[in-house]
Amino acid sequence: MKRIFLSLAAALAFITTPVHAGCCAQPDVVAAIWGAAQWTATQVNTMLGKLAGVVEGTGKMQIQNAAENAKAINQTTVDTAKNMELYRLGQQYQLPPDPCTAGAIATHAEAMNRAQGAISSSFQLGGSRSRLQNLKAADSYVNAPADVGPEARAAALVGSHARHFCDAVESQKYGGTRVCQTAGELPGADVKAETLLAGAKARPGDPDSYTFTARQIEAAQTLIANASDPLPVRGLNKAEANTRAGVEYYALALAGKAKMDFSTQAMRDALARRVPVPEGKSLVAAITKGNPSAAAYYSRLPHLKTEGISALDLQDAEVARRYRNPQWLVDMSAASPAAVAREQAFMMALLLDFQMKQQLSNERQEILLGQIAAALTRADMTPKLEAAYRQVRAQQ
């Protein structure tokens, strides 16, 4: 456009060039015409230059506006696509909004909580889980009567260790003897604290477990029997039981049994928390329904398809799938306000459950501390009371 106006100005300049000397016109007239033409050409060139600048500026503005509009359209398209993706993710990550699914979570959670208490009781002698099926040699030791006498109980303990729990060092040193026949399938599991806390391990370095297999459960029962070895009570025959000394002896045996049960109760509860519960699979199914982040995390637990999941493992998973799961943070950043509110509600409910269990744990600890205090008091006061009583009898 600018070139066109410049060409037109050049043409006008050519037209207004001076008249040749051979022209018949008078010099003054020629000078006047030449001056007027020069002024006109100058004005026209100025006007054409301004017009060209205006047109060029307008063209640039139009091009710039078009570019900015295109950029705005592209940005809007990108923002729209991003918002649609966030909306899709927000719709994807939704905790169960329907009352039926939420109710199922609460129902199965309550069932698991009740089952845990029943499992703990079942580990007592005569309970449904008291008999060991996988570690046969350990069964005679774990379920031996308390009054079999120290010799028989020692033989049962060593026999259990010799068959199932010898480690490589013992096998090399004592292999083929009564104390260690051969290296066991769970080396040292009957004397290691991790057997109860993290699961018996076939090899050092095996991962910890919060959901025990049947063999790990039985190994933990053996450890409990070992750690709470009962007092060396001997049985009484009927004649002995009818004597005064026999009655006093049996009273002491009962008192010792009651005190020992306080120590074993905490261990039985710990083991019960690590036993898979049938309701666990149903509870996990309810938790993961419509919740891809939770489903992805629980899929990492292979024992869900076999043993299931324990109460402790479930609690750990519910914390881990949030705190130790980066995908949860991604999902929550894209979740809708309603989904975030539901997640907060579930987390608050989970926290309340933890607090209640912590209160029960504190109660057990206080009871155990009370038993310890009572034992110390009796150990301190009983001799003094006996001495004082003998003085009372001597003054009669």
Residue entry with tokens 């043993």: 307
Beta-carbon count within 10 A of 95 CB:
23
150-162 residue pLDDT tens: 888 888 889 999 9
Q: What is the mean pLDDT of residues 214-242?
A: 86
328-384 residue pLDDT tens: 888 888 878 887 888 888 888 888 888 888 888 888 888 888 888 888 888 888 888
199-224 residue pLDDT tens: 999 988 888 999 999 999 999 999 99
Q: Do 160 and 68 belong to one domain? A: no
Is 280 domain-assigned? no
Q: Do 248 and 198 belong to one domain? A: yes
Distance CA 366, CA 122 (A): 24
Q: What is the mean pLDDT of residues 33-41?
A: 51
Among 224, 253, 282, where does a domain finish?
253
Is 295 domain-assigned? no
Is 217 domain-assigned? yes
Q: What is the mean pLDDT of residues 111-124?
A: 83
Among 217, 233, 253, where does a domain finish?
253
pLDDT at 21 over 50: no
pLDDT at 91 over 90: no
pLDDT score for 165: 94
Q: Do 218 and 147 belong to one domain? A: yes
Q: What is the mean pLDDT of residues 314-332?
A: 85
Q: Do 77 and 170 belong to one domain? A: no
Sign of CA dihedral 125, 127, 129, 133: positive
Sign of CA dihedral 279, 283, 284, 290: positive
Is 326 domain-assigned? no
Is 196 domain-assigned? yes
Is 137 domain-assigned? yes
Q: Do 77 and 176 belong to one domain? A: no
| Structural domain total, the chain | 3
pLDDT score for 23: 43
Q: What is the residue range of 134's domain?
A: 130-253
